Structure 1
Amino acid sequence: MINNTDAFAEYLLKEKNYSLLTLRAYLDDVRGFEQFIKKDDSGATLQDVHYTQVRSWIVSLVEEGGLSNRSVNRKIASLKAFYRFLLKAKQIEFSPLQKHKALKTEKKIHLPFSEKEMQDVVEYNDYPDDFEGVRNRLIIELLYTTGIRRAELISLHLGSYNAESSTLKVLGKRNKERIVPVLRCTSDVLSEYMVKRRALPEVIDSQVLILNASGKKVSESFVYRLINCYFSVVSGKVKKSPHVLRHTFATHLLNNGADLNSVKELLGHASLASTQVYTHSSLAELKKVYKDAHPRNRNNS
């Protein structure tokens, strides 16, 4: 019989279309649990564990490993996926996690950049007129005007942009493609960037859109450092990252009248629940408009 973890890995890769990074994370979590149950004398395998052993692992992760509830929930999600796979493959009759409830976590709220902060970075910053200056501006423009993820940005290739329709083909999570409109301002920077890109003395990753000065694909850490550097000048917010730019994209659209379903499609979310985390900021804006506009509030002020 094929090793269950090997079969699980093939299932995640071929049927669920998970990325290699996600695949490795799931397998690490399952193998971590497997190592844990091997430490006792019960002789239990992954196929015949009881929830009490899962609960003991959770306690160990929190008390000995010092993990947060959020990190523990992520590991348990991997384990749940593994046991769903075993059920589907008829390797077990019931999942030991069938009645498990996730640990309570505090909702993480990333404050978006204000429209003024965005204007200061995009319009008023003096970008050098060389390859790196134009490339840096393009990265910021793309993240803010399309809402794409950092991983999606660095995976863009030359054929991703359609100049005729001004759209961008984005490969999202689980290899799902979506088409995102590109604003004129971003298209202009993209055209300028392509001129600079063609003038590079050497291009190693020839099909990749966003390159460094050596002609290689940029890394995720590079994009993070770039965003942190540019926004540290204009913003005192603690978190300054590509994800905050994605959050800013969604919040500014909602604040200016976009409906939730449209924002969901633009972000590439599978459900509205994922998009609703961005509504707290637009709700704050709505409250301000409400207080400023309602006659009862005006009369009492």
Structure 2
Amino acid sequence: MMKEAFLKYLRFEKNCSEKTVRSYEIDLSKFEEYLKTLDSDIQLENADADVIRGWVVDLMEHGMLETSVNRKLSALRTFYKYLLRKGVISKDPVRMVKGPKRKKPLPVFVKEADMDRLLDDTSFNDDFEGVRNRLILVMFYETGVRLSELISLKDADVDTSKCVLKVTGKRNKQRYIPFGQELKELIGEYRSLRDVAVGVVEPFFVRKNGAPLYQMMVYKLVKQSLSKVVTLKKRSPHVLRHSFATAMLNNNAELQSVKELLGHESITTTEIYTHTTFEELKKEYKLAHPRA
């Protein structure tokens, strides 16, 4: 059967992993099971676009998430392209089938009052690690940098004389982010303690042994710190990036400026934060207006 030939093609010609091959096998088998409920004459090789659309609808009606449905549809797409190349079929039935659109959740962010409680009212140790940890949280919130960007900062990238960070983002694109007096003072305090504890080093953020920070370490720090002030399910560095963007827009920053600070390629990516602030506005309206 062509299904077995396709799986061998994935395994031996495309060098796909066993996990990937097994995933394709399961998806095709599930589609075969659906075909048996329709008509015994319909096989994988002669299923048309209407049949495939019906399967997509059936999966959605049984509560399958959009991402899972699209993954199964992708498996069919790869399979039928294979049949087309082999001359088994003359027309790709999946070509005109569109998967369900993924729902884009609004970004999770921490309210300004909760961030103030974390940064102003929560106690941190006054040693090297305590000052460093507070600086990490403040830097995320005041600059909107990504986790990868923060841990890759070099000491030379942090200019306190001009109050600017040189950040290397996606595809090695560099951008400059200004910062304020609070961050400047924290950076100076951290550098003094760091230079005594480990000496002058190239990475800006380091551990006690002088080695750079790693992602999971910073992730755990942020999660534990945010747990002190919020009950959000997501408590990650990216939530602080969202919080930066939301705070900027809530305080009348121009959308284009926020786009540049975040290092987004497209203004469309940044626009999602305008929906976030509007959702917050609706909540405030419902709480405050007597007839809301």
One-letter amino acid of the structure 2 residue matched with residue 118 of structure 1: M
The answer on whether the counterparts of 1:58 and 1:72 sit within 8 Å (CA) in structure 2 is: no
Shift of 1:162: 1.7
Structure 1 distance, partners of 2:11, 2:147, is 44
Give the Cα–Cα distance (whole angstroms) in 2 for the partners of residues 155 and 75 of structure 1. 37
Which stretches in structure 2 are left out of the alignment for 5+ residues?
A: 15-22, 32-63, 75-93
Q: 1:135 aligns with which of 132, 135, 153?
A: 132
Runs of at least 5 residues in structure 1 that lack an aligned partner in the other structure? 1-35, 47-55, 78-96
Match of 2:250 among 233, 252, 255: 255
Q: After superposition, where does 1:1-301 map in structure 2 within 5 Å?
A: 39-40=7-8, 57=24, 60=27, 69-70=66-67, 101=98, 103-201=100-198, 206-287=201-282
Change (3 A) 1:57 1:210: same
**SS across alignment from 1:170:** strand
Shift of 1:165: 1.5
Task: Give the superposition deviation at 1:68.
Answer: 6.4
The Cα shift of 1:271 comes to: 0.2
Distance 1:242 1:234 in 2: 15
Q: TM-score, normalised by structure 2?
A: 0.67
Q: Do the aligned residues in 2 keep the contact of 1:170 with 1:179 (CA within 8 Å)?
A: yes
Q: Is the 8 A contact 1:37 1:44 kept in 2?
A: no
Task: State whether residues 169 and 179 of structure 1, in contact with CA within 8 Å, keep that contact through their aligned partners in structure 2.
Answer: yes
Percent of pairs with identical residues: 38
Aligned Cα RMSD in Å? 3.9
Matched residues, number: 233
Report the residue type matching 2:137 in the other structure.
I
CA distance in 1, matches of 2:11, 2:112: 59
Change (3 A) 1:107 1:41: closer
Could you give the per-residue CA deviations for residues 107-160 of structure 1, whole angstroms, max 9, x where no partner exists?
233421111110011111111110000000110011000000000000100111
Q: What amino acid does structure 2 have at the position aligned with 1:221?
A: M
Inter-CA distance 117–291: structure 2 relative to 1 (3 Å threshold): closer
The Cα shift of 1:242 comes to 0.3
Could you say if the C-alpha distance between residues 41 and 175 of structure 1 is closer, same or farther in structure 2, counting changes exceeding 3 Å? closer
Structure label with greater radius of gyration: 2
Closer, same or farther in 2 for the Cα pair 1:278/1:63, shift >3 Å? farther
For normalisation by structure 1, the TM-score amounts to: 0.66
